[in-house]
Structure 1
Amino acid sequence: MRTAPRARALTALLAAAALAVTAAGCGSAAEEAGGGAPRKAPEGRGTGAGALTVTHLKGTTTLEEPATRVVALEWTYAEDLLALGVSPAGVADIEGYDQWVTGGPRFADSVKDVGTRQAPSLETVKALKPDLIITSKVRSEANYDQLDAIAPTLMFDPYAAEGEYEEMRATLEKIGTAVGRQEAAGAALKELDGKIAAARQRLTDGGKDGAAVTVARGYTTDGAAVVEVLTDSTIPGGLLPQLGLRNAWTGKADAYGMSKVDIEGLKPVEESTLLYVAAKDDDVFATSLPKNALWRNLDFAEGGRVHALDPGTWFFGGPFSTALVADEIADALTS
């Protein structure tokens, strides 16, 4: 599922971030439950009045001063840094980020690619001499200690079962604390709230209050179409009620907040409107699925209520991506 998405202009957010970027996402129960002793400042460097303490999945990490050389091993947190006006020292899989995460500014040429998100190069990370690493549970649970030996490492869970939307907001604020940009975090969230309110107003004006919506993504694996429906625990699931909409899907969530279904599994939500993301060169909703009579007989297919969102709409990102999700949903339902 790799494709070059069309650019989206999130004017207020982009302008604020572009001005702030330098050269150099209510805490979930999962975060607050993280055990372990606080991470101390390096030996010989006391924690003075300027010390910063951040709570994350591994407990608490205390920094002597705001971090300035940050490596992000998950796209969500790389986006968060840009939203805070901080250019990261290193990011995992920059090419993939540019393809899938189209909301917000791009990384400066000086930002180093440190390998894949699942298996970053520890040697490359260490060579950057970071004073902070930010990663996710799903990527780095196994090698957290190795990362933490290189630099203080914050671990969060972007797929928190308690709600990815609230997790995104809380994590942005915590990263803002770690890099000394708490005010920027508040401003980014305020801008996001404004974008959501504007999208809701468009939906209200278009007579879509209370509309039932199903949000999905699709792709091909081993020659077969795969459909994953997003539950209430995801960012789109958290956005829908704020947009005055209703998530028609009530299925059980997997570890990422989605439900993998076949065509028959979509029968309970066929009277809703289906909004989806798929790669332009692998759009199963426009190619393989319509060849199946079961799909063609679903009410949303018969009624023309199946709408593609921009392929670069990333459902698992930070404030830029979340604003883009809201904008794309409003566009799809009112155009």
Structure 2
Amino acid sequence: MSTIRTRRAAALAAVAALALSACGSDKEEEKKPKAGGDQRTVTTVMGDVKVPGTPKRVVVLDTDALDSAVTLGVTPVGAVTAEGGAPLSTYLPEAKLKGIEKVGLISEPNLEAILGLKPDLIISSKARDEKNYDELSKIAPTVFTETTGPDWRKNFTLHADVLGKKAEAEKVVADYEKSIAEVTEALGGADEAAGTTVGFVRFLEGTDTRLYMNDTFIGSILKDLKVGRPDNVDKTGFSLDVSPERINEAEADVIFYSTYGDPAKAKETSTTGGALWKKLGAVKDGKTFKVDDNLWMLGIGYTGAGQILDQMGEKLS
């Protein structure tokens, strides 16, 4: 049996043992905040789930769920990190993350740690945690969205519902729409925005450079802005992957770009210093902007989107 399978089997065994022992810990449980309100049934991608009217101990296992919770004024008791040793978030207010326990990696949540927090609601996505759904559901009511990325606004609506924060959500959406209008104005108005092509380029270690299409978080924000998009990425899909020798395919009036990992190893340094990059219209016009990869790639939610729009407005005005 592989190391990963051994570790997962051990974790599941520990969850089962802790679940049984939890039955005898009534005194400790009495000290925990109780979920308020009557139970409600919500429809999810995994079927109908009964959730507490006002959950008090929420565990989130995806980046958009963490953004949603914090945006709506809810401090989860547990959350995963993107990588080992990484913070829960680099863009969400640190004060609002205080007290949140780390419960493993986004790719491998620690089921034993989750159970130990005695949550009354768990939020994640099918794309991330379908393999863990049965075990998570034994711990607490578990609500999955289909995936993250382009569906972040629909996911937020579900998150707000299960968190009992529908009224707060309405204001969040209104603020986002206001920011969209402000950035559109910074671009010179709706007509000027529509006539300005905007691209997003991401340099990554160990793989080709990605030109992001519409079925992505950043792609959805650009579509909300109704800016022009280069023809080769203005389509359904995740990304157009290109080698440094094809970076001319990133041609656009405005280019935002980020780097995951070491800039040299991700070929950002050599690509942006090369002749093909320097021939791009955005480069010649001084319209290329390096941005924070942690925010623009992992800031999936209304707080992240709001900060991205603020940065766009500053750079384009």
Which interval holds the TM-score relative to the shorter structure?
A: 0.7 to 0.9
The counterpart of 1:76, out of the listed 46, 52, 64, is 64
1:33 match: none
Count of paired positions? 275
Alignment of 1:139 onto 2:128? yes
3-state DSSP of counterpart to 1:171: helix
Q: Is this contact kept in 1: 2:201–2:250, CA < 8 A?
A: no
Q: RMSD over aligned Cα, in angstroms?
A: 2.8
Report which stretch shifted further, 197-206 or 170-179: 197-206
Aligned position for 1:236: 218
Q: TM-score, normalised by structure 2?
A: 0.76
Q: In the alignment, which of 322, 325, 330 is matched to residue 305 of structure 2?
A: 322
Amino acid at match of 1:326: L
- Give, in angstroms, the shift of residue 301 of structure 1: 3.6
User: How far has the Cα of 1:230 moved from its partner?
Assistant: 1.4
Unpaired runs of 5+ residues, structure 1, are 1-48
Bigger relative contact order (CA 8 A; separation at least 6):
1
Partners of 2:162 and 2:259 in 1: CA distance: 35
Question: Judging changes above 3 Å, is the alpha-carbon distance between structure 1 residues 207 and 180 closer, same or farther for their aligned structure 2 residues?
Answer: closer
- Choose between structure 1 and 2: higher helix proportion: 2
Match 2:146 to one of 157, 167, 170: 157
1:331–1:98 CA distance, 2 compared to 1 (3 A): farther
- Counterpart of 2:30? none
On the 8 A contact 1:277/1:310 being kept in 2, the answer is yes
Q: Residues of 2 paired with 1:280 and 1:145: CA distance? A: 34
Decide which moves more: 56-65 or 180-189: 56-65
Distance 1:120 1:280 in 2: 23
Give yes or no for contact 1:229–1:249 (8 Å, CA) kept in 2.
Answer: no
Q: 1:271 to 1:240 in 2, by over 3 A?
A: closer
Larger Rg: 2
Matched residue, 1:19: none
Share of identical aligned residues, percent? 24
Do 1:310 and 1:328's aligned partners in 2 also have CA atoms closer than 8 Å? Answer: no
- Structure 1 residues 63, 103: CA separation in 2 closer, same or farther (over 3 Å shift)? closer
Match of 1:91 among 62, 76, 79: 79
Answering whether residue 166 of structure 2 is matched by residue 182 of structure 1, we say: yes
Look up the match of 1:262.
Answer: 243
> TM-score, with normalisation over the residues of structure 1?
0.72
Q: Which residue does 1:117 correspond to in 2?
A: 106
Query: Are the structure 2 counterparts of residues 153 and 78 from structure 1 closer, same or farther at C-alpha, using a change threshold of 3 Å?
Result: same
3-state DSSP of counterpart to 1:115: strand
Q: Distance in 1 between matches of 2:78 and 2:186?
A: 38
Task: Give structure 2 stretches of 5+ with no counterpart.
Answer: 1-36
Work out whether residues 230 and 249 of structure 1, in 8 Å CA contact, stay in contact via their aligned partners in 2: no
